[in-house]
Structure 1
């Protein structure tokens, strides 16, 4: 993820946009899906999505659209099928998306993060806030950056919004705007302990052959609630964690990673999502693909909170 913090819109800005928007005209407007890797085009798309507050969405809905993997999935789905995508399609697809059991929890998470921006940060309340952020899936690199600031001897009370902007001002990469995000704030990924992140497909297959171990591709998202749940409740189980590290080549592929892969002039997230959809015929996250050393698919599995079921999935590698 290129950028730590940039607040394109506050809630009041979204309200103002809603007051000035011709909803019918906006819904009929085409999204330039072939040019989404251009920063100025992507910024305009995010601004237009912000204007959907005039059409029945609220500011939290817009943040969910900005920050979750929902848009990335939709963009690739329409592009690969050569369909024209309008802002009305985004609105309608989002309404359908919101009609599921995980959505209410996701919206509560975003409401908390929205409220957090204006909350004062003190050394006294940081411990409680830190635990809440961890439970919500905010990455450790971001929590560490905040904690370093809070623990400074001359730290003065200020809002989280001010602190986020201060941390961003010290970042080495602030070149162009990204949508606001906290769940998706990512430091550069490191490949450690037998696990890898955002490798190219052929590189992952090569590692599998060299290690003579089956390959597991884990399609996930920084803001994919069910994927975060599986990380916390299934993958972090000590017995499963050691199996993933010792018996497999395990690769996490984030479909909402906004860092560009320069060799292909596309975001890593878009390339990962295209791989998931075009090669494995799925677009939900989490999604696991188990392959043998020759690259043949042994099995796949989506979201499950059941550790026994996930272990059974891993066992399929030895049954081949």
Structure 2
């Protein structure tokens, strides 16, 4: 698997999935434009410490070339500036991964929509959907400058089932991103490119590690808060999934689909950082949906 000579753009690459994806694209040899709002000199409303410069350095260390570019994807002028820089540097984009989200701190989990804050809810939708529309409008021409481009929309979940008490804005964003992936599958196929959506499983993002009061080194202790955390996957897992897609000359067979880290693991055989292959989809179906006590299950058979 190699992406040497390929140009990739990852939106929302400051942390979480975006960082894991950027690093793994770099590990495969790509030049990666690492984009997001938080830099060493400028914080975003997320109020997190991770920066795009840190992600770019991780891309370099993995063997790729990381180029940090601050970009607020709610700002058309910011995205225009990003587009113009890439056009001047390379003239095209081979892989566009649209991972902008920035909504978790503003989602009112468990609050009925009619009792929630309207402005916060609308802000979640703007952060999660408007950003994707702006990104695609401005950057798709660079993807289409050469045949064979790949566009990946990053969502949460691979089905349209009721996702629990997450509120209308969250559900609208994540289902909307899947709908964008389906649209891209049809529209891009006619012009020599591939579009699709991808979801991680139970993600060990920086925010989730803090929530479970663990680190990447001792993450398994998070089962004390939630026994299903035994199936958590690092952000690099979804990164390896997308790197495998980007290196697959027959990736067009997946056009328009919503794929998952676990389905792509079955397809390509990659592992997570610890050498295991967490299968969140099978765990969800056979343990959670079946109502089985997860503490009674041998989790190693799902990894």
TM-score of Structure 1 vs Structure 2, range by shorter chain: under 0.3
Structure-1-length-normalised TM-score = 0.25
Question: Which of the pair has the greater relative contact order for Cα pairs under 8 Å at 6+ separation?
Answer: 1
**Structure possessing the higher radius of gyration over alpha carbons:** 1
